[in-house]
C-alpha cells in the first residue's frame, strides 16, 4: 500500500528554523538523510521532497478554452505543506511508525520537534463497494 506523509508547517515555524544554529540545521539534514537512506534500503521509499514556501505558490484554475488562470501568492497562509514522503509499505501501522520517525526530527539542541504528519493512503482506483 502506498501512503503519502504530508509535513505541515507554519510561516512562524519556517522563519524560526532560519534562526537556528548551524549545528541544529545540520542535525536536521543528517536526520532526514538517515531516514531517507533507511527507507531506501528497506525498499519502502518511493519519493520525498521539501517544497518552496507559500510566498512562491500559485493556485491555477482552468479558464475559458482551458487557459490557466492564476491566483496567489499566499504569504498569509497560516499552515502550509512543507514537504512530503511517499512510501510503499505492507500496513497502515508501518506508515504510522514511519510518520512518527519523521515527526521526531530534531529541533534546537536535539529536542524532537513533534511536527504534525498527515498520513493518507494513495488510492490507485476507487475503493471496492
**CATH number for the domain running over 2-7+21-121:** 3.30.70.1060
Residue-wise pLDDT tens digits, 35-72 = 999 999 999 999 999 988 777 788 888 988 899 988 76
Instruction: Give which of 129, 53, 91, 106 is closest to 119, Cα–Cα.
Output: 91
pLDDT of 129 above 80: no
Read off the pLDDT of each residue in 114-129 and give the average, rounded to a whole number: 85
Read off the pLDDT of each residue in 120-124 and give the average, rounded to a whole number: 91
pLDDT of 41 reads: 98
Residue-wise pLDDT tens digits, 75-114 = 556 778 889 999 999 999 999 999 999 999 999 989 998 9
pLDDT of 71 reads: 79
pLDDT of 121 reads: 96
What is the C-alpha separation between 105 and 29, in angstroms, rounded? Answer: 9
* Contacting residues for 113 by C-beta, under 8 A, at least 6 apart: 103, 104, 105, 106, 107
β pairing state of 45-50 and 79-88: antiparallel
Q: Is 43 helix (H, G, I), strand (E, B) or coil?
A: coil
Read off the pLDDT of each residue in 9-14 and give the average, rounded to a whole number: 80
What is the C-alpha separation between 24 and 107, in angstroms, rounded? Answer: 7
Top-confidence residue, 124 or 86: 86
Q: Where in the chain are the domains?
A: 2-7+21-121
Amino acid at each position: 500500500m502506498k501512503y503519502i506523509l504530508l509535513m505541515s508547517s507554519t510561516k512562524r515555524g519556517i522563519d524560526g528554523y532560519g534562526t537556528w544554529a548551524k549545528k541544529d540545521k545540520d542535525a536536521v539534514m543528517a536526520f532526514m538523510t538517515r531516514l531517507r537512506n533507511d527507507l531506501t534500503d528497506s525498499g519502502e521509499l518511493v519519493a520525498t521532497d521539501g517544497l518552496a514556501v507559500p510566498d512562491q505558490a500559485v493556485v491555477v484554475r482552468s479558464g475559458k478554452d482551458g487557459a490557466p488562470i492564476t491566483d496567489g501568492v499566499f504569504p498569509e497562509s497560516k499552515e502550509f505543506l512543507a514537504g512530503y514522503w511517499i512510501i510503499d509499505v505492507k500496513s497502515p501501522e508501518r506508515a504510522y511508525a514511519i510518520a512518527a520517525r519523521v515527526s521526531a526530527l530534531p529541533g534546537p539542541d536535539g529536542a524532537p520537534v513533534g511536527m504534525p504528519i498527515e498520513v493518507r493512503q494513495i488510492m490507485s482506483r476507487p475503493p471496492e463497494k
